[in-house]
Amino acid sequence: MNIILLGAPGAGKGTQAEYIVAKYNVPHISTGDIFRKNIKEQTPVGLKAKSFIDQGKLVPDEVVIELIQSRLSEDDCKNGYLLDGFPRTIAQAEALDKITKIEKVVNIDVDLTKLLKRIVGRRVCVACGASYNIETYDKPDCAKCPSQLIQRPDDKEETVRARLEVYQNQTAPLIEYYRAKGVLKSVDGMQTISEVCSRVEKVLEQA
Ligand code: ADP
Ligand code: ZN
């Protein structure tokens, strides 16, 4: 199955993505993760993307589209995949329509006014990428491996404000775009993680 996970920054896409890829055995394609890896390794793509990401802006469409086009042509995508963080603009969605057929778009619907606090409290493991929130886990080290937790540089308050604005202006219109195509499924993302998870499972089972 070819699936897109839609939702504002901090809506919990990454968390839900882990469950979906385990259940459906498809690759998890997160453009944010791909960019962070490229930045760490100082590749040309990473160098291009870094200044945009640090300012809470979107990486230019042509850079992201090229990246996704090459990723989707890899062998492991033959039997489906989960896109997380792509598309983020109408232009990206139109480009995607030219390369593949999307079967389900799951929109994790959240209260935008609650997101700032959620994201600013997020901590991630430098080694395994596991994600926590200081509200429920306020320790310096990861519970899954013996590594340090840090705040992502783009999770600082000023940058988060910019990201939320970008979401409203550029990404939220994708909800209508996919609704019009009849592939959109919305779930309430303001419930507990396991509750959201079972709702996501339910909409993925629906025809
Ligand atoms: P979140 O979902 O928490 O906002 P991501 O990890 O998905 O964060 O993305 C981090 C940053 O990477 C974004 O703020 C943006 O700068 C860049 N990025 C990721 N995906 C895209 C995309 N599809 N188009 C443009 N920029 C992107
Ligand atoms: Zn870890």
DSSP code per residue over 70-108: HHHTSGGGTT-EEEES---SHHHHHHHHHH----EEEEE
Distance, in Å, from the CA atom of 192 to the CA atom of 12, rounded to the nearest integer, reads 10
The Cβ of residue 130 has, within 10 Å, a number of other Cβ atoms equal to 17
207 — pLDDT class (breaks 50, 70, 90): confident
Distance, in Å, from the CA atom of 165 to the CA atom of 183, rounded to the nearest integer, reads 25
Q: What is the mean pLDDT of residues 133-149?
A: 95
Q: Whose CA is nearest to atom 15 of ligand 1?
A: 58
Task: Say if residue 150's pLDDT is above 80.
Answer: yes
Task: Say if residue 142's pLDDT is above 80.
Answer: yes
Task: Say if residue 206's pLDDT is above 90.
Answer: no
40 Cβ contact partners less than 8 Å away, ≥ 6 residues apart? 46
Q: Whose CA is nearest to atom 1 of ligand 1?
A: 9
Q: Is 199 annotated in the active site?
A: no
Task: Say if residue 80's pLDDT is above 80.
Answer: yes
Measured in whole angstroms, the distance separating CA 160 from the mean position of its chain's CA atoms is 15
* Alpha-carbon radius of gyration of the chain: 16
Q: What is the mean pLDDT of residues 105-131?
A: 94
Distance, in Å, from the CA atom of 72 to the CA atom of 50, rounded to the nearest integer, reads 23
pLDDT at residue 6, rounded to an integer: 97
* Six token digits for residue 60: 């230019």
* 24: exposed, middle or buried (Cβ count in 10 Å: 0-12, 13-18, 19+): middle
What does the pLDDT look like over 32-79, one tens digit per residue? 999 999 999 999 999 999 999 999 999 999 999 999 999 999 999 999
* Six token digits for residue 200: 């996501």
Task: State which ligand 1 atom lies nearest to the alpha carbon of 57.
Answer: 16
Q: Choosing from 118, 163, 185, 199, which is the catalytic residue? A: 163
Q: Is 88 annotated in the active site?
A: yes
194 Cβ contact partners less than 8 Å away, ≥ 6 residues apart? none
Instruction: Please report, rounded to a whole number, the percentage of residues in the chain having pLDDT higher than 70.
Output: 100
* 40: exposed, middle or buried (Cβ count in 10 Å: 0-12, 13-18, 19+): exposed
Q: Is 163 annotated in the active site?
A: yes
Ligand lying nearest the CA atom of residue 124: 2
- Pocket test of ligand 1: the residue of 5, 88, 167 to mutate, having most ligand atoms within 8 Å of its CB, is 88
Q: Which of 201, 3, 4, 13 is nearest to 110 (CA)?
A: 13
